[in-house]
Amino acid sequence: MTAYLGISAMGLMTPIGNGKAETAENLFKGDQTSLRTRDDLIPKRKVLVAEARGDTPALPPGLARWDCRNNRMLAVALEQMRPDLDRAITRYGAGRVAIILGTSTSGLAEGEAAYAQRLKTGQWPRTFDYVQQEVGGLSEFAKAYLGLTGPAYTIATACSSSAKVFAVGRRLIRAGLVDAAIVGGADSLCRMTPSGFAALGAVSATAANPFSRNRDGITIGEAAAVFLLERDAAEVVFMGIGETSDAHHISAPDPQGLGAAMAMRAALEDAGCAAQGIAYVNLHGTGTPLNDSMEGRAVHQIFGAQTPCSSTKAMTGHTLGAAGACEAAFLWLTLSRHYNPTRLLPPHLWDGAKDEDIPELHLNRLGETFSEDNRAAMLSNSFAFGGSNVAIILGRAPS
Kindly list the domain boundaries of the chain, sorted by start residue.
5-396
Mean pLDDT for 136-160 is: 96
Q: pTM of the prediction?
A: 0.96
Give the list of residues 6+ apart from residue 384 with CB closer than 8 angstroms, or none. 157, 158, 159, 160, 161, 390
With H, G, I as helix, E, B as strand and everything else as coil, classify residue 301.
Answer: helix
pLDDT tens digits along 259-275: 999 999 999 999 999 99
- Quote the pLDDT of residue 251: 66
CATH architecture of 5-396: 3-Layer(aba) Sandwich (3.40)
**Residue 374 pLDDT greater than 70, yes or no:** no
pLDDT tens digits along 188-226: 999 999 899 888 888 998 999 999 999 999 999 999 999
Please give the positions annotated as active site: 159, 284, 318
125 within 8 A of 179, measured Cβ to Cβ: no
Mean pLDDT for 228-235 is: 96
- Quote the pLDDT of residue 215: 96
Mean pLDDT for 325-350 is: 98
Phi (first) and psi of residue 122, to 5 degrees: 85, 0
- Quote the pLDDT of residue 1: 37
